[in-house]
Amino acid sequence: MIIQFTGLSGSGKSTLANKLNTLFQKLGFRVEVIDGDDYRELISKGLGFSKEDRITNIKRLGFIASLLSSNGVITITGSNCSL
């Protein structure tokens, strides 16, 4: 399962992701939260905010999330990405 939150800065994406993370872990699931800001700094460093760069960023995030998910890890992401 992949859950992606999108929205403006300060809209509560990380708060919701962390609450879901806690809930799923209590239920015994393996969970990974990918914070959009950390992700952009580490994996997509150098990308700007043009439409093309945002699409590339989303594709990279989707690829990593799908790898985790295919290995049984619930993946929760949050980003300020809008197309």
What is the span of the domain harbouring residue 45? 2-79
**Res 56 pLDDT > 60:** yes
* SS3 assignment, position 35: strand
Count of domains forming the chain: 1
State the Cα–Cα distance between residues 28 and 22, nearest whole angstrom: 10
What's 60's domain CATH number? Answer: 3.40.50.300
pLDDT for 29 equals: 98
Nearest to 10 by CA among 82, 56, 83, 78: 78
Name the pTM for this structure.
0.83
**Res 41 pLDDT > 70:** yes
Residues 66, 2: contact at Cβ < 8 Å? yes
